[in-house]
Amino acid sequence: MVILKCKNCGELYDIFWHGECGEGECHECACSGMEKAEIQTADWKYEKHVPVVEKTDDGIKVIVGSTAHPMEKAHYITMIQVEVDNKLYRQYLKPGEKPEAHFPLSGKKIKAIEHCNIHGLWSN
């Protein structure tokens, strides 16, 4: 999976399949200037963006940052995603909610990604 970001409007797009166009019509993005969204892993701003994964008795809990990330209308975490044993799970968040997500599942290989509406994508 690749996440693209529009340089014009800032929207994110998931691309799940990379292949060649068939004989039918090709789909073009309504926005021009798409680029691959870079995923950051080192947090220089007081550790507020790197997702922290905790295994619990009933699943996986992901908390954004070792210091609580703001969840205000102007600055918040829009989503938390985990990849567990090659399967993706995602939870969307809104301002006012806690910057965390619980996923009732288990697995060996766990990778978390979160998106901050101002500072972009971050991974553990």
pLDDT of residue 45: 53
- Cα–Cα distance, 15 to 1 (Å, whole number): 6
pLDDT of residue 104: 96
- Spell out the domain ranges in the chain: 1-37, 38-124
Contact predicate 112/88, CB 8 Å: no
Average pLDDT, the chain: 81
pLDDT per residue over 9-57, tens digit each? 777 777 665 555 444 444 455 555 677 777 777 765 556 888 999 999 9
- Residue range 100-109: average pLDDT? 92
Query: What CATH topology corresponds to 38-124?
Result: Immunoglobulin-like (2.60.40)
Sequence-distant (6+) residues with CB within 8 A of 101 are 61, 62, 80, 82, 91, 93
pLDDT of residue 17: 54
DSSP 37: P
